[in-house]
Amino acid sequence: MSVILKQPPALVLVGNIEKIVIASTEAVAFRLLMGSVVLLDETYQPSPSNTVEVDIRDIIRENLNVSIPPESNTIFEQSGSVRSFTCQVDATTFSFTAIKAGIDAAIDDTEQWLTSNWLTWQPQTQEITESMPLWLSYFATLQGMKVRVRGYFSDGAPQQADLATLSQGKVTTLNVRLDIISDLFPTSPGAYDLWVEDSSGQVLSYVQRFVFKHMPSDVTVFVFENSLGGLDTLLCKGVASTTTQYKPSMASQDDTLVEYHLEREEIFEQNTGILETRAAQLWLPDFLRSSQRWVVKDGMLKQIVLQDGKPKMTSRKGLTSASFSYKIARQSQYISIARSEQLGALLEITDPEGTLFFLTPRLIDFLPADPIDDLLFPVMLPWGEQWRRVSLGGIYQEVMRRVGGGGSSGGTLTLARTTSQIVGHRIDLVDFQVLFPSEEAASLVLMIVNNEEADVDLIVSAHAELYVDDPLRAGLTISAGEALKMHVSRVDSKIYVTSNVIANN
CA neighbor of 357 nearest in space, from 369, 349, 365: 349
Predicted pLDDT at 405: 46
CA neighbor of 149 nearest in space, from 112, 185, 195, 86: 195
121 within 8 A of 282, measured Cβ to Cβ: yes
230 within 8 A of 118, measured Cβ to Cβ: yes
Q: Is 501 helix (H, G, I), strand (E, B) or coil?
A: strand
Buried b (16+ CB within 10 A) or exposed e, 315-334: eeeeebbbbbbbebeeeeee
Predicted pLDDT at 425: 82
Say which DSSP state 16 is in.
G
Q: What is the pTM of this model?
A: 0.67
Nearest-angstrom CA–CA distance, 240 and 273: 10
Predicted pLDDT at 409: 41
From the CB of residue 145, how many other CB atoms can be counted at a distance below 10 Å? 22
- Parallel, antiparallel, or unpaired: how do β-strands 191-197 and 146-153 relate? antiparallel
From the CB of residue 198, how many other CB atoms can be counted at a distance below 10 Å? 16
Buried b (16+ CB within 10 A) or exposed e, 412-423: ebebbbebeebe
Nearest-angstrom CA–CA distance, 68 and 230: 10
Say which DSSP state 179 is in.
H
Q: Is 52 helix (H, G, I), strand (E, B) or coil?
A: strand
Amino acid at the residue 343: L
Predicted pLDDT at 349: 56
Predicted pLDDT at 355: 60
Predicted pLDDT at 468: 85
Q: Is 158 helix (H, G, I), strand (E, B) or coil?
A: strand
Predicted pLDDT at 76: 96
Predicted pLDDT at 40: 96
Nearest-angstrom CA–CA distance, 389 and 370: 18
For the chain, which domains are there?
3-108 (2.60.40), 111-214 (2.60.40.10), 236-328 (no CATH), 403-502 (no CATH)
pLDDT digits (tens, 9 = 90+) for 49-70: 999 999 999 999 999 999 999 8
Q: ∠ at Cα 62 (61, 68), nearest 5°?
A: 90
**Residues in the chain with pLDDT values less than 50:** 404-411, 505
Return left, alpha or beta for 299; rule: phi > 0 is left, psi -120 to 50 is alpha, else beta. Answer: left
Predicted pLDDT at 407: 44
Q: How many residues does the chain have?
A: 505
Cα dihedral across residues 65, 71, 77, 79: positive or negative: negative
Nearest-angstrom CA–CA distance, 224 and 291: 8
Amino acid at the residue 269: E
pLDDT digits (tens, 9 = 90+) for 139-163: 999 999 999 999 999 888 999 999 9
